[in-house]
Chain A
Amino acid sequence: MMQEIAWQLSLVLMTLVAFGFGFVAINSGVREEDYTPLQKRAYRIRSKLFWTLVAVLGPVMIYTLLDLPYGATRAGNKAGPAQVVEATGHQWRWELSRDRVVKDQPVEFRVTSADINHGFGIYDADMHLVAQTQAMPGYTNTIRHTFTADGTYRILCMEYCGIAHHNMMAEIKVGSL
């Protein structure tokens, strides 16, 4: 799950940063008067760190661009024609052209708004976010998603839209029609 990766990776990186600061704090007490040799060594280490950062983050940055949610490629390799759901956000409800879809078959959500900005977030039965896009007046954003498990999915609003923002929910049932 992407969220788990993001969390673990953040913890590791933040811990590494903490380790660096902790190490220096512990080694700050006894002074080395001549700063120049220290500086030269530190610059050498920095160069290595920089290239390590480039070598690690560079490929990650590029690799993560290979599966963007914007084009028709996502869920495109799944069998069958896309099931189209027209979704329109209103203050404070979702209007869906259908609320039942079949699993293992791509679903195309065409998302827009009738009034102000909303966010169309699809949550699974365990209340984990599986996909989202913004619902904006005058524009249609299309999500292509293939559900792989039966169940009741919830649509939550992901962009603050006023007093009942937190109540702006709808349901989509995934299963046999």
Chain B
Amino acid sequence: MANYTYEHTPDRGATAYVLAYLGTAGAVLLLMMLVGLLMRLEQAQIIGMGANWFYELMTLHGAGMVGIAGIAGAAVMWHFLRQYVDLSPGIFMANLALFLVGVVMIIGSIVFGHFHAAWTFLYPMPSKSMGMWSQEAAALFMGGLLVIGVGFLLLHLDIARAIIARYGNFARALGWPQLFGHDDGNAPPPTVVASTMVTIVNIVGLVVGASILTMMLVNLYMPGFDIDPMLAKGMIYFFGHVFINATIYMAVIAVYEILPRYTQRPWKSNKVFLASWTASTLMVMFIFPHHLLMDFAFPQWMLIMGHVIGYLNTVPILMVTGYGALMIVFRSGVRWDMASRLLFLSLFGWAAGAMPAFIDGTITVNYVMHNTLWVPGHFHTYLLLGMVAMVFGFMYYLGRPTQHAPDSWLDRAAFWGFSTGALGFTLSFLYAGKESVARRYAVHLPEWLPYDRIGSFCAALVIASALLFVGRFFSRLGAAGRDYPRAPLAQGAAA
């Protein structure tokens, strides 16, 4: 086994580009959280906006959250990856510009065109609105998604170029020589391995997504250009699954890079780590049929594959990344501040969310829980309590005024507000799913309202906390751009 020791790496501040990404992410995230709260309040019958508004906001919330998760994840990845490879700031900013163009198109289609076919735009719903929206509104929405997708594709192609220029090929960047041969301790760092995985899966996912969007845009104006609904559904879920999962794999780079600085312990790419990332590369792409378990006409072997990979997929999350975080924190003397707390919490959220997720991927369970509130229950656990907590942890880390700056009581209170609020929010979804509450209903039955009301209260708590997190980040933008050591030395660590 190679000998792994901690090596201190210089702490670079964020470039203006990364700050632009994070600023956009923070603002849009808060806005989309508010939209989510409005939806829960409507379901709880505390407010009365009506079904039309509800489904429009639902479409906005889905598209907005998936997009902004991509932007936030890309900011984390780009910030750390540029330590190792030569990335193009121009392409990075082009992606943000295209994202903003896409957002304007999507908002236009929803606000002015009343488009509300959900962010999953399942074929042929966008073209069959029963007079609720025009073809132009549908085209604007799908065009907006396409523009955003093209931006991300450009970004990933640039990352692929940079990785190949430095490491020769993807196999080396994934550490295959060390994985399948002698581990000489010189495998690429976790950031490079994770970025390579994300680049591979997202390029494939985005091409598939762009293809189905293009096909549906053609179909919109040329109905004779017929698309098989099953093929369309498979392509949409392939793209959607890969893209949203890739956001977590991008954001977790913050954990790989920052927690070692707090614990002064290494997080290196050993054989187990490399094996898990190679396995995840394949599993993220082949797991998508677990979204189609209730499509009985889908090839049965693919549905069983989705079921099996759903179980296997929990292993790298639990045994490698989750367990890895526990290892380097245990008896490390880590100083708990907002950044280290949020990053540690994020791995709990990811690992905990994987539990109801793989259970939902069990075919016999899915038979009675698919498209109930169980589904937003598990994905909000690993996205809100996992991915979003990683991003907030990264924001706090960048904005630390000095190495030893203490957190205020308000920040600490917000951390606990966020943790308990997010947990209560997700559990209210999961419990409602257990009670068979159907997903994506503007109007709930009277017996479902208690879960909606608890969920609304918890969501408000999450938003209040997130408001402080994002506000704090904006107030520390100056510090976030400077190069200086941010992580405090662990208690008792040799200087």
Contact = CB atoms under 8 A, between A and B. Distances in A.
A18 interface: yes
Nearest to A68: B363
A76 interface: no
A6 B434 contact: yes
Interface of B: 6, 51-52, 55, 116-118, 120, 122, 124-125, 128-130, 132, 228-230, 233, 265-266, 294-297, 300, 303-304, 307-308, 311, 314-315, 318-319, 322-323, 326-327, 329-334, 336, 344, 347-348, 351-352, 355-356, 359-360, 362-365, 367-372, 374, 430-431, 433-436, 438-445, 447, 490-494
Contacts, number: 235
A137 B431 CA distance: 32
A125 interface: no
B441 A166 contact: yes
A142 B368 CA distance: 15
A163 B228 CA distance: 24
A29 B439 CA distance: 43
Nearest to A69: B367
B300 to A, nearest CB: 6
B319 A53 contact: yes
B436 A127 contact: yes
Interface string A7-27: 101100110011011001101
A134 B373 CA distance: 17
Contacts of B331: 27-28, 30-32, 38
A159 interface: yes
B215 to A, nearest CB: 16
B4 to A, nearest CB: 8
Contact of A163 (B132, B311, B435, B493): B132
A116 B445 contact: no
A53 B441 contact: no
A30 B352 contact: no
A158 interface: yes
B255 to A, nearest CB: 13
Contact of A162 (B116, B444, B447): B116
Interface in A131-177: 131-134, 136-143, 156-167
B372 A129 contact: yes
A77 B278 CA distance: 44
Given A33-B494, A134-B295, A160-B440, A39 B327 contact: yes
Contact of B368 (A53, A131, A160): A131
Interface residues of A, number: 76
B124 A137 contact: yes
A127 B127 CA distance: 33
A141 B128 CA distance: 22
10 contacts: A9-B359, A30-B492, A31-B493, A33-B492, A33-B494, A116-B128, A131-B368, A132-B371, A136-B230, A157-B438
A95 interface: no
B447 A127 contact: yes
B229 A138 contact: yes
Nearest to B448: A127
Contacts of A24: 326, 329-330
B344 A50 contact: no
Contacts of A29: 333, 491
B355 A7 contact: no
B303 A6 contact: no
A18 B330 contact: no
A92 B308 CA distance: 35
Contact of A132 (B294, B300, B319, B441): B294
Contact of A6 (B308, B326, B344, B356): B356
Given A2-B368, A3-B369, A129-B368, A162 B132 contact: yes
